[in-house]
């Protein structure tokens, strides 16, 4: 059975369910100090953010040799460059002479990377090719002083980097996702807009908000709660901490993007994305709600134990050389409103998480993607390394939610596990 047909059955089961699944055990509480502890935050930096594959945005604007972009990946200066051989490479933006930034501009085009401090020069492959007054360096071997590299791979137009030289190939890390999203043809879509949000909460609290639809009626009563049926939502837990949430659309009600005037469409996209809002989480920093008109990658970045950044990077079908269609102005305003509704709730949550009155989070069946993410955090760090009292128990396994329906009525079978 293909994933779309199985997914529809999963949603049907959830919509018809009248009680707590009898084969699903209640989840232990998630310790509240995981969201406030400086020690936990540092462990996450060391074992997750600087060791995992993380998405850093689109390759739009970096498709021609010599195109470059700089960014600050949680305090690590990075330089992306398209080489003459068409390969996109990631380097630490750090000159091998005295550590100055090799490139200071945010983006541009060049044929030579020249440090602005002492003019050490590197070609587009990161090789050191020019040193002023080279005679003054008695032990210089230019072959060993090229720019330091990071792992860099592109999937469907999205750039991922990793500081871990032993990280598995990106496609292996992504597991089932590329196959399930093949019909979306993301590599053929174009960048529409990027918006940045400063959020006064721990990065995990921010991601948590996008891993469930239990909050729709309270936080989004006039927007997402009208568009989506939160009781018809199926969760799937995938390897490497990834997950999927598929929520049935209420077509013809509220403002569904595909029903707005001038709505574009992604050619060849599977109908499962027309009937449902299918949102994927790519551990650790991506949430992407797929839609037939286009959609954002929501990219999360930790800044401190109680502060993070979210970037919403929107892509959609190409419209050629003409001005951007007016449709996108209305779309972006609606999506921004939904995101702002989430943002307004997160800073007060962080204040409550610091309260002595808060001991831990009671996670329900519909919120189990949150527990899955936390379980993966501890797996990456090492359960034995997590500070005392902050670890979560390893109780979940990769799973789907579909239960069979017999002719005599609905009956629950064992949860499918992979």
pLDDT of residue 403: 52
**pTM of the prediction?**
0.93
What's the whole-number mean pLDDT along residues 372-382? Answer: 98
Residue 415 pLDDT exceeds 60: no
Q: What is the pLDDT of residues 22-41, one digit of tens each?
A: 888 899 999 999 999 999 99
Separation between Cα atoms, residue 48 and residue 142, nearest integer Å: 33
Q: What is the pLDDT of residues 138-153, one digit of tens each?
A: 999 999 999 999 999 9
From the number of C-beta atoms within 10 Å of its C-beta (0-12, 13-18, 19+), residue 104 rates as: exposed
How is residue 267 written in tokens? Answer: 């050619």
Residue 399 pLDDT grade (very low, low, confident, very high; cuts 50, 70, 90): confident
How is residue 347 written in tokens? Answer: 């800073």
Q: Is the distance from CB of 403 to CB of 249 less than 8 angstroms?
A: no
Q: Using alpha carbons, select from 14, 11, 1 the residue that is nearest to residue 365.
A: 14
The angle formed by the CA atoms of residues 263, 288 and 332, to the nearest 5 degrees, is: 40
Q: What is the pLDDT of residues 273-322, one digit of tens each?
A: 999 999 999 999 999 999 999 999 999 999 999 999 999 999 999 999 99
How is residue 323 written in tokens? Answer: 């001005």
Q: For the chain, what is the mean pLDDT?
A: 92
pLDDT above 90 coverage of the chain, percent: 84
Residue 414 pLDDT grade (very low, low, confident, very high; cuts 50, 70, 90): very low
Separation between Cα atoms, residue 97 and residue 239, nearest integer Å: 42
Separation between Cα atoms, residue 291 and residue 278, nearest integer Å: 8
Q: Is the distance from CB of 373 to CB of 207 less than 8 angstroms?
A: yes
What's the whole-number mean pLDDT along residues 163-187? Answer: 97
Which H helix or E strand runs over 193?
Answer: strand 190-199
pLDDT of residue 359: 84
Q: What is the pLDDT of residues 42-99, one digit of tens each?
A: 999 999 999 999 999 999 999 999 999 999 978 899 999 999 999 999 999 999 999 9
In the chain, what are the domains? 3-52+187-410 (3.90.380.10), 61-155 (2.102.10.10)
What's the whole-number mean pLDDT along residues 352-373? Answer: 92
Separation between Cα atoms, residue 104 and residue 147, nearest integer Å: 15
Residue 256 pLDDT exceeds 90: no
pLDDT of residue 376: 98
From the number of C-beta atoms within 10 Å of its C-beta (0-12, 13-18, 19+), residue 106 rates as: exposed
Contacting residues for 2 by C-beta, under 8 A, at least 6 apart = none
Q: Is the distance from CB of 65 to CB of 124 less than 8 angstroms?
A: yes
By residue count, the chain amounts to 418
Residue 416 pLDDT exceeds 60: no
Q: What is the pLDDT of residues 203-234, one digit of tens each?
A: 999 999 999 998 988 899 888 888 888 999 99
């Amino acid at each position: 059975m293909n994933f779309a047909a199985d997914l529809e059955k999963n949603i049907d089961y959830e919509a018809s369910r009248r009680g707590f699944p009898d084969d699903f055990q209640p989840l232990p509480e998630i310790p509240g100090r995981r969201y406030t502890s400086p020690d936990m935050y540092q462990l996450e930096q060391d074992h997750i953010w600087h060791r995992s594959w993380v998405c850093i945005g689109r390759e739009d604007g970096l498709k021609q040799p010599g195109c470059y972009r700089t960014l600050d990946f949680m305090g690590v200066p990075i330089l992306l460059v398209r080489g003459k051989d068409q390969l996109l490479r990631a380097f630490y933006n750090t000159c091998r002479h005295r550590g100055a930034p090799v490139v200071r501009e945010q983006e541009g085009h060049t044929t030579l990377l020249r440090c602005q401090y002492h003019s050490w020069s590197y070609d587009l492959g990161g090789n050191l090719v020019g040193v002023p007054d080279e005679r003054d360096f008695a032990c210089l071997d230019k072959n060993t002083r090229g720019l330091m590299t990071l792992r860099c791979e592109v999937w469907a137009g999205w750039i991922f980097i990793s500081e871990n030289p032993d990280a598995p190939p990106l496609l292996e890390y992504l597991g089932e996702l590329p196959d399930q999203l093949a019909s979306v043809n993301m590599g053929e879509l174009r960048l529409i807009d990027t918006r940045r949000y400063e959020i006064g909460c721990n990065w995990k609290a921010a991601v948590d908000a996008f891993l469930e639809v239990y909050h729709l009626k309270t936080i989004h009563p006039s927007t997402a709660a009208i568009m989506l049926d939160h009781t018809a939502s199926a969760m799937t837990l995938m390897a490497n901490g990834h997950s999927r949430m598929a929520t049935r659309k209420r077509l013809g009600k509220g403002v569904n993007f595909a029903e707005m005037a001038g709505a574009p469409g992604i050619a060849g996209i599977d109908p499962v994305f027309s009937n449902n809002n299918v949102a994927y989480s790519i551990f650790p920093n991506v949430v992407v709600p797929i839609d037939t008109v286009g959609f954002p990658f929501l990219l999360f970045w930790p800044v401190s134990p109680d502060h993070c950044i979210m970037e919403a990077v929107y892509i959609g079908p190409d419209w050629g050389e003409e001005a951007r269609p007016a449709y996108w102005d209305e779309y972006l305003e609606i999506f921004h409103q939904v995101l702002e509704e989430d943002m307004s709730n997160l800073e007060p949550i962080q204040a409550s998480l610091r309260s002595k009155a808060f001991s831990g989070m009671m996670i329900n069946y519909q919120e189990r993607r949150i527990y899955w993410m936390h379980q993966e955090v501890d797996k990456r760090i090492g359960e034995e390394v997590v500070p005392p009292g902050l670890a979560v128990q390893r109780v979940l396994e990769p799973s789907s939610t579909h239960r069979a329906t017999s002719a005599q009525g609905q009956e629950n079978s064992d949860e499918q596990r992979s």
